[in-house]
C-alpha cells in the first residue's frame, strides 16, 4: 500500500465513450502526476499539478483532460480515445515537485476498442 489509490483498476471503452480515471492520495503531498506506461516504452509524463495548479502538460492530446480539485484528488477525463491510447495510466504524488521520492498508485489498465 503506497498511500495512492487509483480507480478503476481496469477499464475497457469504445472510441466514442467518455470516462474518467480517479486518483486519491492520503499522504499530505502537494504535487500529483499522471504517467502513461506502454509496453516496451519508458514511463511518459503527461501532467503535473503543484498545489492544485497545472505546472506541466507534456504535449498531451486534448482528448485527455486532467482535473485537480484539491491537493488530494486528481482526475483524468477521457474522450474519443484511439486504440493506441491503450496503456497503463499511473498516478503519482510527492511532497513537493522538487522532492525526490514519488509514490505511485497501482494504475488503471485501459483498453480502447
Partner 1 sequence: GQNIDQPTEMTATEGAIVQINCTYQTSGFNGLFWYQQHAGEAPTFLSYNVLDGLEEKGRFSSFLSRSKGYSYLLLKELQMKDSASYLCAVRLSGNTPLVFGKGTRLSVIA
Shortest Cβ distance from residue 40 to partner 1 (Å)? 6
Locate 78 and state its grid cell.
477521457
3 or 80: CB nearest partner 1? 3
Distance (Å, whole) CA 31 – CA 94: 5
48 or 81: CB nearest partner 1? 48
Q: Which residues contact partner 1 (rule: CB under 8 A)?
A: 2, 4, 33, 40-43, 45, 48, 56, 90, 97-98, 100-107, 109
Nearest to 111 by CA among 5, 4, 9: 9
Amino acid at each position: 500500500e503506497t498511500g495512492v489509490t487509483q480507480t478503476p483498476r481496469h477499464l475497457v471503452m469504445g472510441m466514442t465513450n467518455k470516462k474518467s480515471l480517479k486518483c486519491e492520495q492520503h499522504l499530505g503531498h502537494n504535487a500529483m502526476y499522471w504517467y502513461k506506461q506502454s509496453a516496451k516504452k519508458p514511463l511518459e509524463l503527461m501532467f503535473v499539478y503543484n498545489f492544485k495548479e497545472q505546472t506541466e502538460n507534456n504535449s498531451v492530446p486534448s482528448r485527455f483532460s486532467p482535473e485537480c480539485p484539491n491537493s488530494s484528488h486528481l482526475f483524468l477525463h477521457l474522450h474519443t480515445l484511439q486504440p493506441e491510447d491503450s496503456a497503463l495510466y499511473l498516478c503519482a504524488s510527492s511532497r513537493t515537485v522538487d522532492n525526490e521520492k514519488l509514490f505511485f498508485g497501482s494504475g488503471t489498465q485501459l483498453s480502447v476498442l
